[in-house]
Amino acid sequence: MADYRIITDSTTDLNAEIVKELGVIVAPLHFTIDGKTYANYPDERELSSPEFYSKLRAGQQSVTAQINPDAFVEFFKPILEEGEDILYIGFSSGLSGTFQASQFAAEELKSMYPDRKIYCVDTLAASMGEGLLVFYAANMKKDGATIDEVKTWLDENLLKLAHWFTVDDLFHLKRGGRVSAAAAVFGSMLNIKPVLHVDDEGHLIPVSKARGRKKSLDNLVEKMAETAIDAKNQTVFISHADSLEDAEYVRDQIQKKLGVKNFRINFIGPVIGSHAGPGTIALFFIANKR
């Protein structure tokens, strides 16, 4: 039986330490800010998250680019050459064309390596939600699961991966077309903080509105209390856009109310952060539904 490698992309927002622990390969997406283009590696070798958010707060705008099929071929081919199979766990097709590019690359390579398995799984997820699925998959692999067993688990469980977000600045959502200009202006005046989630099609959807930051953070915790499966025995992921104190507040509330012990907290990287903006907090867990 051939061994296999798990590949994902940098929109998982997994840091270098977790990537090393899991033994996965991360393909970087790119972003351009202040006239310079950077690759978004987990070790942040080109631009750190604090530096990135400092630029955003100074009024600079960031634009992102998906991975193209040729780049995926470059990532996949050496692994296939070594006689290993590939399980690519990718960024939501509802938010980017990156996953479709991976499929094009896989189809091209299958004809060249007919004896190899190349599976591409559309997580319909983003940030550490995508990362949480990679976390589960990598740990299954460590426990001896085959590539087919891991793919089956992902297919059966990815719509149980709940994502709940709140943003601090509505104008970043306005630029991404998530709210109207009027909603951004009046929402900011009234201190309205939207609560959003990623739906079953992998799109970012506004769900409710909270008056004030603390209430919006409490709403994330309430959503987990309502839908989480066996919450206290889960590993919960929380990502933040240069707002660690708020991420720790959410963690502390979940610990207090639901008895969860295992958490991973990390930055929302520049690719996702380009669209969400500074101050975004996101919570990820396994639920009875998204």
Decide if pLDDT at 124 tops 50. Answer: yes
Integer Cα distance of 208 and 195 in angstroms: 5
What's the whole-number mean pLDDT along residues 93-111?
Answer: 96
Q: What is the CATH number of the domain that holds 263?
A: 3.30.1180.10
Please report, as a single letter, which amino acid is at residue 120: C
149 and 34, same structural domain?
Answer: yes
233 and 121, same structural domain?
Answer: no
184 and 134, same structural domain?
Answer: no
What's the whole-number mean pLDDT along residues 33-56?
Answer: 96
Task: Give the count of beta carbons closer than 10 Å to the beta carbon of residue 9.
Answer: 26
274 and 147, same structural domain?
Answer: no
∠ CA 228-197-223 to the nearest 5 degrees? 35
Q: What is the pLDDT of residue 187?
A: 44
Task: Give the count of beta carbons closer than 10 Å to the beta carbon of residue 191.
Answer: 12
Give residue-wise pLDDT tens across range 202-251. Answer: 987 878 878 788 999 999 999 999 999 999 999 999 999 999 999 999 99
Q: What is the pLDDT of residue 167?
A: 85
248 and 238, same structural domain?
Answer: yes
Give residue-wise pLDDT tens across range 126-185. Answer: 999 999 999 999 999 999 999 999 999 999 999 999 999 998 765 555 555 555 554 444
Integer Cα distance of 113 and 243 in angstroms: 45
- Chain centre distance of CA 121: 14
Tokens read off for 123 = 């997580």
247 and 207, same structural domain?
Answer: yes
**pLDDT: which is higher, 286 or 176:** 286
191 and 265, same structural domain?
Answer: yes
**pLDDT: which is higher, 195 or 232:** 232
Q: What is the pLDDT of residue 251?
A: 98
Q: Could you say which DSSP state residue 28 is in?
A: P
- Enter the pTM of the model: 0.92
241 and 174, same structural domain?
Answer: yes
Q: What is the pLDDT of residue 178?
A: 52
Domain end call among 101, 136, 158: 158
What's the whole-number mean pLDDT along residues 25-51?
Answer: 96
Q: How many domains does the chain have?
A: 2
What is the span of the domain harbouring residue 222? 160-286
